[in-house]
Amino acid sequence: MALTPDRVLDALRTVRDPDLGKDLVTLGMVKRHDVEGDRVLVTVELTTPACPMKDRIRGDIEAAVQTAADEVGHPISGTEVEFTADVRRPNQKLGESPLPGVRQIVAVGAGKGGVGKSTIAVNLAVGLARHGARVGLLDGDIYGPSLPTMLGLGDVQTVARGSMLMPFETHGIKSMTIGKLVEEDKALVWRGPMAHGAFKQLAMQTEWGELDYLIVDLPPGTGDVPLTLAQLLPLSGAIVVCTPQRVAQDDARRAVRMFENLGIEVLGIVENMSHFVGDDGKEYDLFGRGGAEVLAQTMGLPFLGGVPITPALRKNSDSGNPTANWDDPALAAAFDALVTHAASRISIAAAQGKYQMPTISVS
């Protein structure tokens, strides 16, 4: 008997996406299933180009197809699995989104300043783009914008077309920051309604085009901007950045509660400055490595990964060159683990259809 495309499809019904918990056929991920002589050709469309499960899915497909081929006695040379990706648009159900070209909007927040929230937001955005995603980064930290420095926007021209601002394009991502529009000192004294208005304009009057992910770097703490963001845009969820120390965990806990009160799902916690890596490559545990992971566990939240303190990361951030972080093997590994884990949590949240326009409850 011959191995037919239908039998290949049946075999693929036994392969589950480990994150989404259903089989590839039910999830609509199989885009091609052909047999050409002794070659089997399968194309799977993932829900994110930064999927950490590619190798596992490939292995499971090869095994399932081989079993099907053996059952009918059809010798095959192997299965050629090709991956494509289409980041789903979970916000469709909500009706008209004010940013219809943007598929997933993710906020990055922290309980207090200086924990590396902007550093994580920048590298998450650049890391997703390195996997082939179309990414935007909105500097929501209008009181202390750091994107001009961290993305090296110093000499980049600000361009407006009509009432719309063109996003900056560096390091493979689009970005917008108030830091390029007003003098730094002015942004710092903005309060309440002005901050609300400024953030809204930045989000809505930037020509983002089609984006898979829009990452929003929020101001630290629990102020007006998260509230504005939650009321304005359908968020996929929030990521909370924390350092390992006990006191930092208390602040992070408050940030988690704030998102929950705003009806925003917390996708996970990141531990920044997890440990120190010296120029000699040696690791030093400065702040009590693992503290944020314990916090995530006690709050029942996913832990998305830890990023070490390294002189290279500080230097690359100050010189506006996040791409260089991928030249450093330890940093590249830490950021890639974080990026793929975050991407998979976003896909899972999208598949579970938890999206709602937030209902605000003030307690």
Which residue in 69, 140, 67 sits closest to 108, CA to CA? 140
Q: Which of 90, 87, 64 is nearest to 76 (CA)?
A: 64
CB closer to ligand ADP out of 136 and 234: 136
Query: CB-wise, 162 or 329, nearer to ligand ADP?
Result: 329
Binding mask 136-175 for ligand ADP (x = CB under 6 A): ----------x-----------------------------
One residue of 48, 79, 118, 340 binding ligand ADP per CB under 6 A? 118
Task: Write out the H or E segment, with its range, that includes residue 304.
Answer: strand 303-309
Strands 266-277 and 237-242: parallel
User: Can residue 110 be called a binding residue for ligand ADP (CB under 6 A)?
Assistant: yes
The residue from 47, 79, 104, 119 that contacts ligand ADP (CB under 6 A) is 119
Smallest distance, ligand ADP to C-beta of residue 139, A: 10
Read off the tokens for 101.
């070209």
256-285 residues in contact with ligand ADP (CB under 6 A) are 272-273
CB-based contact 349:149 (threshold 8 Å): no
State which residue, 143 or 355, has the beta carbon closest to ligand ADP: 143
Interface residue with ligand ADP, options 5, 101, 113, 221 (CB under 6 A)? 113
Number of residues that bind ligand ADP (CB under 6 A): 19
Q: Which of 47, 123, 206, 317 binds ligand ADP (CB under 6 A)?
A: 317
Q: For the chain, first and last CA: distance in Å? A: 67
For residues 108 and 239, give the distance between their C-alpha atoms in angstroms, rounded to a whole number. Answer: 5
User: How many alpha carbons lie under 13 Å from residue 237 in its C-beta half-sphere?
Assistant: 24
Q: Tell me whether residue 3 or residue 270 sits nearer to ligand ADP (CB atom).
A: 270
Which bin fits 332, alpha (ψ -120 to 50), beta or left (φ > 0)? alpha
Applying CB under 6 A, the span of 4-12, 178-186, 304-312, 347-355 interacting with ligand ADP comes to 304-312
Closest CA to 239 of 92, 339, 159: 339
Please compute Rg for the chain using Cα positions.
22
With contacts defined by CB under 6 A, name the span among 21-29, 80-88, 93-101, 303-311 that binds ligand ADP: 303-311
If the CB atoms of residues 228 and 272 are measured against ligand ADP, the closer one turns out to be: 272
Smallest separation, CB 148 to ligand ADP (Å) = 12
Q: Which region among 67-75, 106-114, 163-171, 279-287 touches ligand ADP (by CB under 6 A)?
A: 106-114
Site string (207-246) toward ligand ADP, x via CB under 6 A: -------------x--------------------------
Residue 115 as a binder of ligand ADP (CB under 6 A): the answer is: yes
> Among residues 12 and 331, whose Cβ is nearest to ligand ADP?
331
> Which of 7, 58, 117, 345 forms a contact with ligand ADP (CB under 6 A)?
117
Separation of alpha carbons 107 and 357, rounded Å = 15
Q: Confirm if 177 and 139 have CB atoms less than 8 A apart.
A: yes
The least CB distance from residue 220 to ligand ADP, in Å, is 6
Q: Does 307 bind ligand ADP (CB under 6 A)?
A: yes
**Cβ neighbours, 10 Å, residue 271:** 32
Distance (Å) of CA 171 to CA 124, 175, 211, 226, 328: 12, 10, 15, 26, 16
Crossing angle of helices 291-299 and 246-261, rounded to 10°: 40
Question: Contact positions toward ligand ADP, by CB under 6 A?
Answer: 110, 113-119, 146, 220, 272-273, 307, 309-310, 313-314, 317-318
